[in-house]
Every structure is written in structure tokens, then in C-alpha cells.
Structure 1
Amino acid sequence: MKLANISFGRLRLTPPKILSLGFILLIAVGTILLYLPASSTGERLSFIDALFMATSATCVTGLAVVDTGTQLTVFGQVVLLVLFQFGGLGFVTMATLITLVLNKRISLKDRLLLQESMNQNSMQGIVKLIRRVLIYSLVIQLSGAAVFAARFMMEMPAGKAVYYGFFHSVSIFNNAGFDLFGDLHGPFSGITRFVEDPIVNITSMLLIFLGGIGFIVLSDIIDFPKRKRLTLHSKVVLSTSAALILIGALIFFWLELNSTLKPLHAGGKIMASFLQAITPRSGGVTTIDIPLLRESTQFLMILLMFIGAAPGSTGGGIKVTTFAILVSTAVARLRKKEDIVMFRHRISKDTVYRAITMTLLSLMLIVIATMLLSVTESADFLTVLFEAVSAFGTSGITMGLTPELTTAGKLLVIILMFVGRTGPLTLAYALKPKKSKELYRYPEGNITIG
């Protein structure tokens, strides 16, 4: 995608640089607010813990070094809520909302930023899409909040139930994964007490799915009755997401049937399997204690976390479209086909190169981070790998390592969360030097593969 430069005085900033700087600014403001004594119920957070929590919220990850429900005040919780709302929808999108409310004109600079933040190939119709994103998000989150509030009223006062419903709906839709149930069921308990609750499970799965497929796909689905067709992007996202959820749920059910799922009734087994198949792709909430799972199941979740959600969504990972292109490329090569075809459309070589580059950069980052975390942390390799992939995929699931991280480990995970949210390619574009024109080409050479 060709990106235009934007001038600010003597500075020339590309949209990726502005997006990256915007996330850094949000994290900085969040860190300062969480560092205040008013954010903590007891002794105030250390600066590194405040930075970690602010990064986790802004990057909609959900990894927490302190329990949100017991160690943060209502002020601290609201700070987190604002951060993962801005982080999930994107600070550029939220700034556009303010501009639209004030009836201000959307400039070319703003449209370029919106194009980059929504992973669009052109600026055509971008403001209309943003309006829809904001409306869809509001309707979905308020609907989820109403359902949660009605359910939570069965076990807490109405005012608290409404607050809990709103907080968890926003958190789960934005794939942030923060919860407040430590206040009721013990620190870091999550929603494990609701493992057989159909209302909490089904609502959570729908919120994660709708937040994870991307706003472009949501808009396409709503337009389907009029247009009677879906774009190629939507077809790939929906088909790949459905396949990953179904296959993931079946494998989880098979692996854990005689283990963690054994005490549950039939409906509970099915709900737990599907939620645990959906949530690794950036959801962050679980109804099963992850450390109790078999190692094979934990590794399955690592793979799902690495793939992540869809482009232009609240989720992370390499994205389902990248995974779909890699699989299609491998199939095409095995069949000796020249073109990579998906739904009767040929995929450009530039798109394939981007997918391969994204995957390789992500793998390299995870490998390096895992090696470093293995040095800084006293934990087994699978636990460290799980933590690294969860941070990069902004999944927010942990095997219990997050609260025990050393200062060096926290800094490493902070970097992983930031890169996972902004995207390796976006960050690479932001940091790359000025492009120089190639004046010549080298002769083609042959290298033996395999």
C-alpha cells in the first residue's frame, strides 16, 4: 500500500509513524493516570506496573500484573476502560468521532490516517465506513452490556450489575480481556465460575467474534441484503474464522474430554470448547484454568493466538487473512499452479510477499522474545512461549506467569504487546529510512530449495 507523507513543520511523518506515536501517547497518559494513588486500592502501583497495565489496556491485550477487580479503584478501572476503548477502535477512529460530533471537516491528512488504521487500500468511502464502525460498535457494546447486566443482577445489586455489564461488554468486544470478578471470586479468577452459564458464554463468544472479524466485514454483512454479495476480503475472513473456530473447538473437546471438561455436563463441555477456541484469537477471557490444560491443548492455543483475528478489527496476531494466503500459497505450489486463487480471484504477488514478510517478522520476534524471557524468568519453556505469543497476539491469556514477571520480563512483554497491536509491518514502515530509487538491477540467480 502506497503511503503519503504528512508534513508537520520540518517533520515528515507517514501514517504508520503517526499511528505508532498515537499509541505511545495513549500509553504515556494511561501510565501517568494509573500511577496516581487514586488508581490503587492500597499501595499505589509501581511505575513499571502502571506502564504494563496501560500498555496492556491500550494494546487491548488483557495481561495483568495486578488484579483489576481488587487492586484498582473505580477510577483506575475507568482509566483502563477508556484506554481499551480507544485502543480497540483506534485513537484515529475515536478522534474522528469527536470531529464528526463537532461537525468539523475531515482533512486529507485525517483520511490518510484512517485509511492506514483501518487497513484499507484506498480513501474512497473511508469516512462513511468510520461512521458505521462507530455506530456498530456502540450498538453491539450496549447490547452486550444490557445482557450482562441482566445476568449479573441475579447475584449483585442493580447499580453494580450495570457497571459490571458495561465494563465487561466493552472489554470483551474490544478483545481486551480485563475482568472485575477478582472482587467476587478471588484475584485473577476471571470468568471461570461461569463455565456452564449459557448467557455469559454465548454473549462473550458473540462479542469476541464480532470484535474480531473486523469492521469492514461487519459493514459488508449489514449491506448484504441490499448488495446480495460479499467482498473477497469478507469471504476469506468469515470462512477462515469459521474453520478455525470449528476445528479448534473439536480438537479442544477431543483433547480435554477426559480432563478439564470431565466434570461438566454436555452443554458445558460444548460451550467451554467453543469459547476456548474463539478466545485465543484475541479474546482474553477463559472459563477454564489454562495451567490445568494438557500441554497439547496449550500448544493448540498458542497456534490460535499466533494466527489472531482479522485486519481492521480489535484483535491482534498475524491475522486470519495472512494465514489464509499462506495456506493458499502452499496449496498452489503443491499443485504446481502459478497463480494463488481464492474464491475465483487471483491474489497479487505483492499481497503474498506482505503475508510472508509479516509471518517471518512475527516468528522472529516471538523466537527472540521467548529466548530472552527464558533467561529472565524462572518458568518452563512452554509457559514462557505461551506468554510471548499471548502478548504478541494481544490475546491476554496466561498460564500464570504474568503476575510473577521480573522487571526485565515486564519490559519485554510490553514491547511484544505494542508491536503486536501496531503490527510488525506497520512498525517496520514507521522506522524505515527514506526510500531511495534503485538505479540498477542485479542478474537473476538460482538457489536450490528443499
Structure 2
Amino acid sequence: MFSSYKSLSVTQRLSFSFLIVILIGTFLLSLPITHYAHAPETHLLDHLFNVVSMVCVTGLSVVPVADVYNGLGQVIIMCLMQIGGLGLVTLIAISMFALRKRIDISEQTLLQSALSRPDSGNLRHYLFHVYKFTFIIEIIAALVLMFDFIPRFGWGHGIFNSIFLAISAFCNAGFDNLGSESLKGFVLNPLVNLVIIGLIISGGLGFAVWIDLAHTVKRYFNQKPRHFSSAIRPLSNQTRLVLYTSGFILLSGTILTWLTEIGNTKTIGDLNPLQQLMVSLFQTVTMRTAGFASISYLDTRPATNILYMLQMLVGGAPGGTAGGIKVTTAAITYLLFKSELAGQSEVTFRNRIISSKTIQQTLTVLIFYFTILFTGYILLLQVEPGLDPMSLIFESISAIATVGVSMDLTPQLSTAGRIIIIVMMFVGRVGPITVLLSLLQRKRKDIHYAPTDISVG
């Protein structure tokens, strides 16, 4: 069996690793010892759905975690979310590095793909940075949450719930163990809101960006005299593009949410201006594929929900815990559009040319992503004729973008509907380009043909 696994392509092995975790997680969470004695009746498909959502760090759930899974079950869920956020491949690699074992070229390529790294240089050093950063952020966030949760839930549950929520938020998983209302009871709690916002952004920016920023801070404090401009000059264009695009989405999303909901008394209409902005910011951040909800999306206005769907589609940065088409894909699409309008023959960013290969990958991701999205949505319309079409497209985008927010629709899905959502969550997490290559990857030779002109538009 091991030799058969080694014969798979890199992308097939990446997809296979997620499937293995899903199967093991489903088996464990279907055992009675992981359930409360008074838990409502559940079926194997319920656990499979939840586990796919956990491993794919989505957040959609057919049964609330707090109602079904006991302490043991919730510990398993934390492990599944952590594995989903960091990836099974990276966990195996870090174990081998810790044991000082060598990994071959194919394993290095697999690890490079899992981390969205452009090259395999110094993977050991990079991987240890990733894990150190992850655990430091999660521990700090959990400690801060304990200031609110321990007085609220007691020492045992307060500590446990803080750790659970910190892992879930950093991994952009969207699960909580607080009940079916998610974070709606904390909508006006500044401490919980700001900690969750910080965790979601940290996980969604991508590890390469944070390592680049850490080097920038180190440069700033090591240089004499200290100059901010010279410290940030070595920042990579990848980091700059991620930061510019993420900042624009967060700022514009917060303002637009506030403008569309300011008169809605069911959401933020009755709050003071600071509270309105906090809720608007939280919702904009959680739409970056985190999946927590502090308001009901049945109460938000249609314009707001369309805005949220656009934000879900974009998602976070490559090499992080977020999903979506990625902010770099959205940014490159905009730069391509801008260059075409300006009549430029090349797509550029900060006086650097974006390669044609990157443009082709961007368009491939977009086409495949939207093909899966609309195929899944059409199938859901077919198998769920009694459900609201607007709620179904919201659910579909939430699944493919691994966001996890819902218009209270997930528990109402039929068996066929749940299977469709499961497939969309898996494809959304593993990545359109990875799934596409795992199905179609073959050795091929490049053949160059004579050019031709075709009119467009």
C-alpha cells in the first residue's frame, strides 16, 4: 500500500492525505464514547459532514458541537481543525524533521505544494517557523480569552473553551463549542470580538507574509539609525500584494456593511456608532473564510448578503489557513483588467512584470472554481426544490470558499444536498488547481504552434 501511495503524483498525494484524515475523524466522532449521553440522535453522514467541515476548516455543521460531542469528542475536533489548518503533510514533515530523518525529493515537492511555496529551499527552517508562530499566537489568544471565559464558564470550561475557540479562529475553521447561537451572545463584547478578529486575520494572511513581516521588524530594530522606509524596502511583492488587497477588502467591506445595515434594527440599527463599526468589522473579517456569526444572516439585508458572498469568494492569502480564490488571484485579475483597459501588453505590479504563467494559473483557478460553484448550486436547486434559492447560493459559496456561514439552512439539507456540500467543501479546501491536477496530471511535452488572431467582445 505504501508503494502505491508513493507512485501517486504530488497533487494526488496531497488530496489523499485529506481523505485519510476525514475517514479517521469520521470513525472517531461516530463512536458513542465521544458523545454526550443525552445527545440528540445522529447518523454517520452527520459526522462525515461535520468532519469534512472541520478538516476543510469550513464551519458548516448539521448538528452543533456543544449539543453532541463531549470533552473527548471536542479534543478530537480541535486536533482535526489544527490538522486541517496546517495540513497533514506538514505535520508528517515536521515529525520527520524533529526525528532528524531525511525526506526525498518527491516528499519535498509535496511539502512545497502544501505550503504554497515557490521553491523547496530551507523547508525545515520555514516549517519550524510556521509551527512556532501558530502555537504562540494560539496560546496568547487563549490566555486573553480566559479573562472573559473563566469568570463566565468557570476554571475548567473557561480554559477549555478559550483553547478551542483560539484554535478554531486561527485555523479559520468557524466551529465553536458555545451552542447553536455561535458568537451571537458576544456581539457587543469587545475583548472576544477583537481577539477573534486578530486570530482570523493572522491565519488568513499566510505564513510567508508573517515571516516576511517578522524579518522586517527585526531589520528595523537592528539598524542604526532606524528608518522605517529602509526596513520595509526588502518586503517581497507577494507580501505587499497580500497586504494591500487584504487592507482594501477589510476597509471597504467594513464601511459598506455599515452603510447597508445602519438602518436595520434587526442587526446594528439600534447600536451606537462604535458598536456598529465593531460588528461591521467582525462580519467583514469572518467572511474571509472564518465562519463565525455574531448576527443572523436571515436578518441582514439582501444587498449586505451579496456583499458577503463577494467577500467569501475572495477569501484569504495563499499558504495560510483561509480558503476562497485567494486575495492574490483577485488582485491579479484586477491588474489584468486594468492593464487591458490601459492598452498595456504586460501585467505589472510595482514596476515588475507578472509572468504569463501566473496569469494562466489565475484564469485556470477562476474557471475551475466557478465551474464547481455553479455546478454544485445547480445540483442543489435540483435536489432541494423547497429551499430558498438565495439561501442555497449563499450556502454554496460558503462551502466552496470554506467559510462556514449559513442562513440557518445546513440542518435542513437532504442527504443528497449534504453530499453535494461535502464535495464542495473538499474541493474548496484542497484547492481548485490541486484537484484539477490530481485528476488530469499526466506527463506531456510542450508543442509550439503558429499563432492565430481571434476577436473578443
- Identify whether the pair has TM-score above 0.5, normalized to the shorter chain: yes
Q: Which amino acid aligns with 1:355?
A: T
Task: Specify the SS of the correspondent of 1:281.
Answer: coil
Counterparts of 1:172-321 in structure 2 under 5 Å?
172-182=169-179, 188-227=180-219, 228=231, 229-259=234-264, 260-321=267-328
Distance 2:279 2:104 in 1: 47
Shift, 1:438, TM fit: 4.8
How big is the alpha-carbon RMSD for the aligned residues of Structure 1 and Structure 2?
A: 1.5
Name the aligned partner's letter for residue 217 of structure 1.
V
- Residue 24 (str. 1) matches residue 24 (str. 2): no
| Counterpart code for 2:294 | T
- Which residue of 1 is the match for residue 45 of structure 2? 48
Contact persistence 1:36–1:44 (CA under 8 A): no
| Segment drifting more, 225-234 vs 338-347 | 225-234
Supply the AA of the counterpart residue of 1:332.
S
The equivalent of 2:356 in structure 1 is 349
- Does residue 1:81 correspond to 2:81, yes or no? no
Per the TM alignment, residue 76 of structure 1 is displaced from its structure 2 partner at its CA by 1.7
In 2, Cα distance between equivalents of 1:445 and 1:112: 36
Question: 1:15 is matched by which residue type in structure 2?
Answer: V
1:13 equivalent to 2:8? Answer yes
Pick closer, same or farther for the CA change 1:277–1:9 going to 2, 3 Å.
closer
Opposite residue 192 of structure 1, the aligned amino acid is K
Deviations 1:177-217 (A, max 9, x none): 101111xxxxx200011111110011010000000000000
Helix, strand or coil at the partner of 1:8: helix
* CA distance in 2: counterparts of 1:408 and 1:266, whole angstroms: 44
Q: What CA distance in whole angstroms lies between the structure 2 residues aligned with 1:389 and 1:439?
A: 37
State the distance in 1 between where 2:14 and 2:428 align.
Answer: 13
Q: Helix, strand or coil: the match of 1:63?
A: coil
Question: Quick check: 2:11–2:435 contact (8 Å CA) kept in 1?
Answer: yes
Taking the aligned partners of 2:42 and 2:351, their CA distance within structure 1 comes to 55
Alpha-carbon shift at residue 406 of structure 1 (Å)? 0.5
Q: Structure 1: how far apart are the matches of 2:433 and 2:318?
A: 13
CA contact (8 A) 2:57 2:84 kept: yes
Cα distance between partner residues in 2 of 1:214 and 1:10: 29
1:121 CA displacement: 1.5
Q: Distance in 1 between matches of 2:193 and 2:98?
A: 35
Which fold has the larger relative contact order, with Cα–Cα distance below 8 Å and residues 6 or more apart in sequence?
2
1:437 aligns with 2:445: yes
Deviations 1:78-124 (A, max 9, x none): 22111110010111111122223333334433321210001111111
* Superposed counterparts of 1:60-79, under 5 Å: 60-79=57-76
Tell me which residue corresponds to 2:155: 158
**Equivalent position amino acid for 1:196 in 2:** L
What CA distance in whole angstroms lies between the structure 2 residues aligned with 1:10 and 1:139?
Answer: 34
Q: 227-236 or 414-423, which moves further after superposition?
A: 227-236
Shift of 1:153: 1.6
SS of residue paired to 1:437: coil
Question: What is the correspondence of 1:140-151 to structure 2 with a 5 Å cutoff?
Answer: 140-151=137-148
Q: Deviations over 1:348-400 (max 9, x none)?
A: 01101110110111111111111111122222211000000000110010011
Distance across 2 between alignment mates of 1:101 and 1:121: 23
The DSSP-based 3-state class of the residue aligned with 1:51 is helix
Superposition deviation, residue 27 in structure 1: 0.3
CA deviation after TM superposition for structure 1 residue 44, in Å: 5.3
Q: Equivalents in 2 of 1:98, 1:209: separation in Å?
A: 27
Q: Distance in 1 between matches of 2:364 and 2:440?
A: 15
CA distance in 2, matches of 1:179, 1:92: 25
Find the counterpart in structure 2 of residue 4 from structure 1.
Answer: none
351, 375, 395: which one pairs with 1:387? Answer: 395
Moved over 4 A (4+): none
Calculate percent identity across the aligned residue pairs: 33
Greater CA deviation, 309-318 or 9-18?
A: 9-18
Provide closer, same or farther for how the CA distance between residues 433 and 231 of structure 1 changes in structure 2, counting only shifts above 3 A. Answer: closer
CA distance in 2, matches of 1:10, 1:271: 48
Q: Deviations over 1:294-327 (max 9, x none)?
A: 0110011100101111000101110000000000
Shift of 1:9: 5.8
The answer on whether the counterparts of 1:302 and 1:386 sit within 8 Å (CA) in structure 2 is yes
Indicate the residue corresponding to 2:424 in structure 1: 416
Range with bigger deviation, 383-392 or 340-349: 340-349
Structure 1 residue identity aligned to 2:123: I
Match in the other structure for 1:185: none
SS at match of 1:372: helix
Q: Are the structure 2 counterparts of residues 345 and 438 from structure 1 closer, same or farther at C-alpha, using a change threshold of 3 Å?
A: closer
In the other structure, the counterpart of 1:3 is: none
140-149 or 75-84: which moved more? 75-84
- Tell me, yes or no, if the aligned pair for 2:40 and 2:67 is still in contact at 8 Å: no
Matched-pair contact (CA < 8 Å) for 2:94–2:124: no
Paired position in structure 2 for 1:120: 117
Q: 1:407 is matched with which residue: 398, 405, 415?
A: 415
CA offset digits 1:224-257 (Å, max 9, x no partner): 1345221111000011000000000000000000
Number of equivalenced pairs: 438
Q: Secondary structure at the match of 1:154?
A: helix
Distance 1:434 1:155 in 2: 56
CA distance in structure 1 between the partners assigned to 2:134 and 2:281 by the alignment: 23
* 1:268-309 Cα shifts (integer Å, max 9, x gaps): 111101111111111111211111100110011100101111
What is the rounded CA distance, in whole Å, between the counterparts of 1:27 and 1:439 in structure 2?
40
Partner letter of residue 350 of structure 2? F
Aligned counterparts of 1:399 and 1:346: Cα–Cα separation in 2: 42
Q: CA deviation at 1:52?
A: 0.4
| Aligned partner (choices 31, 39, 58) of residue 36 of structure 1 | 31
Alpha-carbon shift at residue 435 of structure 1 (Å): 2.5
- Which SS does the other structure have where 1:230 is aligned? coil
Where does structure 2 lack aligned partners over 5 or more consecutive residues? 220-230
Question: What code does the residue aligned with 2:343 have?
Answer: K
Stretches of structure 1 lacking an aligned partner (at least 5 in a row): 1-6, 183-187
When the two structures are superposed, what TM-score results if normalisation uses the length of structure 1? Answer: 0.94
